[in-house]
């Protein structure tokens, strides 16, 4: 005599063969948070020393004292990277070098034309360092440019890293960007020195600022057309192709 049949419930995977296990995805950073994180090295290495310098001079500290105090952060970060990571923090080292030049030039006094000419010492230092970095194949301005073009987005940063490693055209754009800015800063220095010794002092007091603003505007437009613009297009193309493959 046969006993009652026992019905065993089918496993969930058998009853619902198409059901897929849902794995929570890693939450993406908010765009503003991602951008802030990508800009943090620039803020710490360049922004903090600059803001502290102007804040200290506004509070009544001497130029020499303000420059010395604002050099602490870039000096610490330069030494820390050299000792801990065995690499040079290029941006922090640049700010430190600029502050040291400023400290040396702060002793210049007396001749008003020399006082006007010394203002170009900082820009010439930056220009020379940027040009040397580009000539060595390690363009310094890349550390400033990358956060602005990738906007802290992981996909764009991945494309940037791949292009910087594999694309000769992209690397040439990186170098070109630094060359444009280095040449602009060095050219601004030369023009201001010539003006300091050929034009009336009263004229150069206001014209020096105009020359500096013009150099920055020219460098922004030229570097955008010759380097940043093509890099944006290459990053966008690489990102869209990556998304197409993911689909």
**Under 8 Å between Cβ of 95 and 116:** no
Among 55, 83, 107, give the residue marking a domain's end.
107
Pick from 107, 132, 159: which residue ends a domain?
107
Residues 37 and 131 in one domain: no
Question: In the chain, how many domains are there?
Answer: 2
Q: Which of 77, 107, 137 is the last residue of a domain?
A: 107
Are residues 45 and 100 both part of a single domain? yes
pLDDT of residue 24: 44
pLDDT at residue 99, as a whole number: 75
Claim to verify: residue 55 and residue 88 sit in the same structural domain:
yes
Distance of CA 132 to the CA centre of its chain: 17
Do 121 and 102 fall within a single domain?
no
Is the same domain home to 137 and 230?
A: yes
In a domain, 148, yes or no: yes
The verdict on 71 and 147 lying in the same domain is no
Same domain, residue pair 148 and 201: yes
In a domain, 7, yes or no: no
Report yes or no on 43 lying in a domain.
Answer: yes
Whether 114 and 149 have beta carbons less than 8 Å apart is answered as: no
Q: Please tell me whether residues 210 and 137 are part of one structural domain.
A: yes
In a domain, 244, yes or no: no
Is residue 98 located within the same domain as residue 194? no
Distance CA 100, CA 105 (A): 9
Give ∠ CA 243-245-247 in degrees, rounded to 5: 70
Q: Which residues of the chain have pLDDT under 70?
A: 1-39, 41-42, 45, 90, 107-111, 119, 242-247
Q: Does 82 map to a domain? A: yes
Same domain, 121 and 91: no
Task: Give the pLDDT of residue 126.
Answer: 84
Which runs of consecutive H residues, i.e. helices, occur in the chain? Answer: 12-15, 31-42, 48-58, 63-70, 72-80, 90-105, 112-118, 120-135, 142-150, 154-166, 168-198, 201-223, 229-246
**Parent domain of 100:** 32-107
- For residue 11, tell me if it sits in a domain: no
Q: What is the pLDDT of residue 61?
A: 84
Determine, yes or no, domain membership for 13: no
Say if residues 143 and 222 touch (Cβ distance below 8 Å): no
The pLDDT, as a whole number, for residue 158 is 92
Q: Are residues 211 and 114 in the same domain?
A: yes
Tell whether 91 and 120 lie within a shared domain: no
Q: Please tell me the predicted confidence (pLDDT) of residue 120.
A: 76
Question: Hey, is 189 helix, strand or coil?
Answer: helix
């Amino acid at each position: 005599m046969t006993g009652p049949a026992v019905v065993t419930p089918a496993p969930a995977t058998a009853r619902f063969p198409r059901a897929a296990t849902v794995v929570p995805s890693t939450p993406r950073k908010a765009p503003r948070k991602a951008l802030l994180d990508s800009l943090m090295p620039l803020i710490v290495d360049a922004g903090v020393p600059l803001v502290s310098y102007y804040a200290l001079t506004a509070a009544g500290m001497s130029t020499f004292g303000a420059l010395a105090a604002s050099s602490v952060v870039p000096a610490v970060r330069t030494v820390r990277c050299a000792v801990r990571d065995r690499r040079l923090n290029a941006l922090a080292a640049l700010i430190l070098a600029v502050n040291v030049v400023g400290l040396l030039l702060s002793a210049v006094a007396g001749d008003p034309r020399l006082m006007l000419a010394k203002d170009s010492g900082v820009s010439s230092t930056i220009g020379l360092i940027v040009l040397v970095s580009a000539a060595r194949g390690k363009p310094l301005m890349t550390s400033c440019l990358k956060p602005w073009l990738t906007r802290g987005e992981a996909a764009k940063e991945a494309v940037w890293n791949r292009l910087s490693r594999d694309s000769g055209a992209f690397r040439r754009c990186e170098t070109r960007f630094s060359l444009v800015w280095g040449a602009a800063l060095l050219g601004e220095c030369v023009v201001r020195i010539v003006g300091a010794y050929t034009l009336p002092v009263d004229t150069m007091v206001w014209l020096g600022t105009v020359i500096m603003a013009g150099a920055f505007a020219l460098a922004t437009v030229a570097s955008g057309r010759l380097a940043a613009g093509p890099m944006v297009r290459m990053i966008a193309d690489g990102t869209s192709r990556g998304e197409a493959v993911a689909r």
